[in-house]
A and B are shown apart, each in its own frame.
Chain A
Amino acid sequence: MNQPTHSSNRILLPARGWYITATLLLALFLNLIPLGRLPFVPDWVALALIFWCIHQPLKVGMGTAFVFGLAMDIADASIMGQHALAYVLLAFVGCGLSRRILWFSLLLQAAHVLPMLLGVQLVMLAARMIGGAEFPGMLWFASSIVATALWHPVTYLLLLPQYRPVDRDDNRPI
Chain B
Amino acid sequence: MSVVGHTPPPFFKRGPAPLARLTFFTALAITLLVADLRFHTLEWARLVLATVAWPMQRAAQMPVEGAQGAGQYFASLLQLQQENSVLRTRSLATANQLLRQEHLEQENRRLRALLDMKERQPVEGRVGEIIYAARDPFSRRVIMDKGLQAGVAAGQAVIDDLGVIGQVTRVFPLTAEVTLLTDKDQAIPVQVQRNGLRAVAAGAGAGSIELRFLAANAEVQVGDILVTSGLDGIYLPGLPVAKIIHIDRDNSYAFARIHCEPIAGVERHGHVLVLGSRIVPPQPEEPVERKDVPAKGKKVRKAAQ
Binding site for B on A (CB under 8 A): 28-37, 58, 61-63, 65-66, 69-71, 74-82, 84-85, 88-89, 92, 95-96, 127-128, 131-137, 140
Contacts and interface: CB of A to CB of B under 8 A. Distances in A.
A30 B64 CA distance: 11
B133 A37 contact: yes
Contact of B33 (A30, A31, A127): A127
7 closest residue pairs by CB, A with B: A34-B132, A81-B32, A32-B60, A85-B29, A36-B133, A134-B205, A136-B137
B59 A88 contact: no
B194 interface: no
5 contacts: A70-B32, A80-B42, A81-B31, A88-B29, A132-B185
Contacts of B132: 34, 36
Given A74-B46, A75-B53, 4 more contacts: A33-B63, A66-B25, A74-B50, A78-B136
Interface in B195-249: 203, 205-206
A133 B139 contact: yes
Q: Is the interface of B mostly helix, strand, loop or mixed?
A: helix
Interface in B174-190: 177, 183-185
Interface in B1-47: 14, 18, 21-22, 25-26, 28-33, 35-37, 42, 45-46
Interface string B50-72: 10010011011101100000000
Contact of B22 (A62, A76, A131): A62
B21 to A, nearest CB: 5
Nearest to A124: B138
B203 to A, nearest CB: 8
A89 B183 CA distance: 29
A78 B136 CA distance: 6
Given A61-B21, A74-B49, A89-B26, A33 B33 contact: no
A136 B167 CA distance: 21
A74 B60 CA distance: 14
A128 B36 CA distance: 12
A173 B12 CA distance: 32
Contacts of A76: 134-136
A149 to B, nearest CB: 20
Contact of B184 (A77, A80, A134): A134
A92 B131 CA distance: 37
B22 A34 contact: no
A78 B184 CA distance: 14
B134 A77 contact: yes
Contacts of B141: 77
B53 A74 contact: yes
A140 B205 CA distance: 14
B18 A96 contact: yes
Given A31-B135, A132-B184, A134-B139, A79 B33 contact: yes
B226 to A, nearest CB: 21
Interface of B: 14, 18, 21-22, 25-26, 28-33, 35-37, 42, 45-46, 49-50, 53, 56-57, 59-61, 63-64, 131-139, 141, 143, 170, 177, 183-185, 203, 205-206
A29 B63 CA distance: 11
Contacts of B42: 80
Contacts of A137: 206
B259 to A, nearest CB: 15
B136 A77 contact: yes
A134 B207 CA distance: 11
A81 B134 contact: no
Contacts of B133: 34, 36-37
Given A80-B36, A80-B42, A80-B46, A140 B137 contact: yes
Contacts of B56: 28-29, 32
Contact of A62 (B21, B32, B53, B184): B21
Contact of A85 (B18, B26, B205): B26
Contacts of A79: 33, 36-37
B286 to A, nearest CB: 30
Given A77-B141, A77-B177, A81-B36, A34 B135 contact: yes
B149 to A, nearest CB: 19
A81 B25 CA distance: 10
